[in-house]
Amino acid sequence: MKLLAAVVLVAGLAGVAAWGGEAFARDEHMGTCVFEKLTGQDYKFCRGDLEVFYPELGDVGCTYIPKCNQYRKRISKEWRSPKIAYPQADKNKKYVLIMVDPDAPNRANPKYRFWRHWVVIDIKGTDLRAGKLKGHVLTDYGRPTPPSQSGYHRYQFRLYEQPAHEAISLSPEEEASLGSWPMERFVEQFRLGSPVASTQFLTQHHSD
């Protein structure tokens, strides 16, 4: 993989990543950690400046989650839902956020795509601009948990403008299962159109 960008963290530095008035303290002895940017078609998926923030990592949009400092383990087992920001959001509109894994159980044979990790509707544009994801949750946030030996998985975030007066919901069948979710049918059914912004990160099982 071609290295497009790297963030180097120096050992012994008690750094702090600040965003939106909150500070996320880094580990005191982190060593050197390199963050690689996505390339090719994976990079092209990212559009519209949608921002996804995890503690210590900052905005993970269009990056590989590195194994150093147990980041892959912590994103799968420790950290709660990321902060989502879309500075270009229209203050007078509402939005729908969808997070999916299109690579379940693996990218070569994604027979369970799309695995639904998060769906939030009725998100006000003013809240998105401020990085405060408030709305009606249809699917609670599910941490990225790629199976061992399944390679890298894409965790995609898609943001849609919500049509006015559209009552969006999941069917009982959809609520009963996260895997093999017909996302495209959901988008078509509720007339969401194309995403106004999208981004993704790639990670794999922390022991691989």
Which structural domains are found in the chain, ordered by start?
A: 40-203 (3.90.280.10)
Return averaged pLDDT per consecutive 10 residues of the chain, 208 residues in all: 37 33 37 89 97 96 96 98 98 97 97 97 97 96 97 98 94 96 97 98 96
Query: Between the CA of residue 70 and those of 8, 9, 143, what are the distances in Å?
Result: 16, 14, 15
Q: 3-state SS of the chain: helix, strand, coil percent to 5?
A: 15, 30, 55
Q: Can you tell me whether residue 203 is helix, strand or coil?
A: strand
Task: Give pLDDT, residue 19.
Answer: 37
**What's the number of CA atoms in the CB half-sphere (13 Å) around residue 149?**
0
Closest CA to 11 of 69, 61, 57: 69
Burial label for 25, CB within 10 Å (0-12, 13-18, 19+), is exposed
pTM of the model: 0.85
Give the per-residue pLDDT at 122.
Answer: 97
Other beta carbons within 10 angstroms of residue 149's beta carbon come to 10
